[in-house]
Chains A and B, each alone.
Chain A
């Protein structure tokens, strides 16, 4: 741990309406260069948690500190220079091409309509980094799922953030694309970005995460390094399925027990 946390959250509570608490007494922290995962079943509150950190949702109670300042003290513009948010779903209403789309990531740094040479350079860098030169002039609405995901992350990278929040970045992706995205996140963390991503698949945490927070029904039921947190007992408790830990020489996985499925 190098000094203060990049993000620190204490006693976070949140509900959309008065009746039901969506998040209850959440505490966590993230450091520079880490990959942290919010893991949990559907409707466990992990997406809501991410959106609160992204400042997309307001009205929480509790303490959130980002880079030493309270979240509430930031205005949108300054915050977006630090934190980039990659949503799960996005509707692209206008036919932007990939280059224009990536350029939109420079918005926090652009004054009104004046785009600099620097902004164009950074977009070029992102294109190189992600290896998407072939997509430069393609229209975003016409891209495949995996390409769209890459491009979304590209836009987030163009923001030059210190922290990146990704909401279920691998959903709807095939195996190849899934691994590609996971690898990318690990690489970004290795370059000192703080990465938080949500998922419901414990294997993803096993693959790239430094730490995992396991959520269930709005509470954090466990946290720590994946090997410790992702025990068969805890997974069964949260997902209500029997699982088994499989280790081979070059991979580890949590698999559901399929005894009794086949005749």
Chain B
């Protein structure tokens, strides 16, 4: 327990430091300590541009880490990520439609969020029609089907989109970026994301139990359908909130729990908190790089992969014994 507390404190401190340093010093606009102290126009401008973005990146990374752990436990599948139920594909489709037909960002974000939720409803409805396998398998299968459906939709939108104006916008959106985050997005979506993280943390013990299957869950007094449903709802709500603004960035959700489990173990109470903290760190670092390295924005997923894969190899190679 001591080891876990130390680890958590380390991550929390790292988070706070990162946020502060990123806000003050990381970005394309060169700005120094003197600017900050005198609160020059540069400082004010940078503050308003960077702050919501960094905070949102932190929240999003945390939420992705949490929902990744939750999905992997509920679906008993180490490859599960928040996308597994088709949410990301639905959101991508909604956003593509928004970009194609409208100019304002409100439509893009709104349609994206809406389609994300619709795709979840479609997945759940479809799973009820299936007669094959248990509920978990049905959900996975219908998630695959609905994802394929909406991915095809995105493909079609890309096909008809004007290759010089709309198509690059769609392509860039799909690669993911925190560029579109302003204060309005932050205030609008962060309550939902934050509460989802907290609620899923409260459910973490039950999610432990769910990972053994419905039969064992019942024998231990947990109603599997109800708890699974709750977990999925809050996971999808937070993921939709993120994806509608940033584009498809599910990879972080898949990999963060795997980075965390060799260190803290499999108990979701620890995994969820640690994934939230580590996810936030990875997200902030990746976003810092993606908006500062070159004059243009580098898509988020690319940076996350570059950072997380060496980390992945490092952690899984050893140094942390399998027995705890």
Chain B 194-230: CB-based contact to A (< 8 A → 1; otherwise 0) = 0000000111111011011101101111110000000
B74 CB → nearest A CB, Å: 10
Using a Cβ–Cβ cut-off of 8 Å, how many residues does chain A contribute to the interface with B? Answer: 36
CA distance A76 to B205 in the complex (A): 16
User: With A94-B266, A96-B266, A137-B323 known to touch, is A107 a contact of B202 (CB < 8 Å)?
Assistant: no
Whether B209 and A113, one on each chain, are in contact in the complex, defined by CB atoms closer than 8 angstroms, is no
Whether A87 and B323, one on each chain, are in contact in the complex, defined by CB atoms closer than 8 angstroms, is no
Set of chain A residues within 8 Å of B202, measured between Cβ atoms: 112-113
Closest B residue, CB atoms, query A111: B205
**Any chain B CB within 8 A of the CB of A81?**
yes
Closest A residue, CB atoms, query B226: A76
Set of chain B residues within 8 Å of A83, measured between Cβ atoms: 219
Chain A 176-196: CB-based contact to B (< 8 A → 1; otherwise 0) = 000000000000000000000
**Any chain B CB within 8 A of the CB of A254?**
no
**Any chain B CB within 8 A of the CB of A49?**
no
Which of B218, B265, B323 neighbours the largest number of chain A CB atoms within 10 Å of its CB?
A: B218
B324 CB → nearest A CB, Å: 6
User: With A91-B76, A92-B212, A104-B209 known to touch, is A113 a contact of B218 (CB < 8 Å)?
Assistant: no
**Any chain A CB within 8 A of the CB of B322?**
yes
Set of chain A residues within 8 Å of B211, measured between Cβ atoms: 93-94
Whether B73 and A93, one on each chain, are in contact in the complex, defined by CB atoms closer than 8 angstroms, is yes
**A142-169 residues at the B interface, CB under 8 angstroms:** 142, 159
User: With A100-B266, A113-B201 known to touch, is A80 a contact of B220 (CB < 8 Å)?
Assistant: yes
CA distance A90 to B209 in the complex (A): 12
CA distance A39 to B307 in the complex (A): 58
**A61-88 residues at the B interface, CB under 8 angstroms:** 76-81, 83-85, 87
Whether B265 and A56, one on each chain, are in contact in the complex, defined by CB atoms closer than 8 angstroms, is no
Whether A104 and B220, one on each chain, are in contact in the complex, defined by CB atoms closer than 8 angstroms, is yes
**Any chain A CB within 8 A of the CB of B134?**
no
Using a Cβ–Cβ cut-off of 8 Å, how many residues does chain B contribute to the interface with A? Answer: 32
**Any chain B CB within 8 A of the CB of A54?**
yes
A4 CB → nearest B CB, Å: 24
Whether B204 and A87, one on each chain, are in contact in the complex, defined by CB atoms closer than 8 angstroms, is no
**Any chain A CB within 8 A of the CB of B48?**
no
Closest A residue, CB atoms, query B201: A113
Closest B residue, CB atoms, query A81: B221
Set of chain B residues within 8 Å of A112, measured between Cβ atoms: 202-203, 205-206
**Any chain A CB within 8 A of the CB of B42?**
no
A201 CB → nearest B CB, Å: 24
Whether B204 and A90, one on each chain, are in contact in the complex, defined by CB atoms closer than 8 angstroms, is no
Chain B 59-70: CB-based contact to A (< 8 A → 1; otherwise 0) = 000000000000
Residues on B lying within 8 angstroms of A by beta carbon are 72-73, 76-77, 201-206, 208-209, 211-213, 215-216, 218-223, 261, 265-269, 322-324
Sample (8) of A-B pairs whose CB atoms are under 8 Å apart:
A55-B219, A56-B219, A77-B222, A80-B219, A83-B219, A85-B219, A104-B220, A115-B205
Given contacts A87-B219, A95-B265, A137-B323, 19 further A-B contacts (CB under 8 A): A55-B218, A55-B219, A76-B218, A77-B222, A78-B221, A80-B221, A85-B216, A87-B216, A90-B213, A94-B261, A95-B266, A97-B265, A97-B323, A97-B324, A107-B206, A108-B220, A112-B205, A113-B202, A113-B205
